[in-house]
Amino acid sequence: MAEPLSKGTWTVFAPTDEAFGAIEDAAATFDLLDLDVLLQFHAVAGARITFADLPCSELTEMANGETSRTKCSSNGSIKYQRGSGQMDGMLPKIIAKDVEACNGIIHVVDNVMIPNFEDK
């Protein structure tokens, strides 16, 4: 398990309220382990990764031990952070980038990143 979020350096992909609302029915069936896996899947421990440094088509290890992949437009100006269990039509687009935080950086995404819950 990752260290407490109050310690260390972090990159966080923070879904909007609307993004969480879009998975409300599915999330109602989650147990505490599912929620832990989901929330940790939105953070990268020990790294402050700016939008410019998100590697297109590469995998990034998330705080829950799984990987997500950065998908980019042809010129790299639009980026998405995809989970291995992502639902069709819900690719999380980074809509606000490089938001400074006291111990890292935040990228706001318009959909929840979905890990592969079968591997938990």
Residue 61 lies in a domain: yes
**Whole-model pTM over 0.85:** yes
- How distant, in Å, are the alpha carbons of 3, 21, 80, 92, 93 from that of 88? 32, 16, 14, 11, 13
What CATH number is associated with residue 82? 2.30.180.10
Distance between alpha carbon 84 and the CA centroid of its chain, in Å? 11
Nearest CA among 54, 47, 99 for reference residue 72: 54
Per the structure, how many domains does the chain have? Answer: 1
Q: Write down the pLDDT at residue 73.
A: 94
Task: Confirm if 62 and 44 have CB atoms less than 8 A apart.
Answer: yes
Q: What is the pLDDT along the chain (120 residues), one digit of tens a residue?
A: 445 556 799 999 999 999 999 999 988 999 999 999 999 999 999 999 999 999 999 999 999 999 999 999 999 999 999 998 887 788 999 999 999 999 999 999 999 999 987 765
> Pairing between strand 104-109 and 10-15?
parallel
| Domain-located, residue 28 | yes
Please report whether residue 86 resides in a domain: yes
pLDDT of residue 45: 95
Q: Give the per-residue pLDDT at 119.
A: 60
Q: Where are the beta strands (DSSP E) in 5-119?
A: 10-15, 43-45, 59-61, 67-72, 79-82, 94-101, 104-109
Distance between CA atoms of 44 and 17, rounded to whole angstroms? 21
Residue 43 lies in a domain: yes
Full domain range(s) for residue 44: 10-119
pLDDT reported for residue 40: 95
Do 11 and 49 touch, CB atoms closer than 8 A? yes
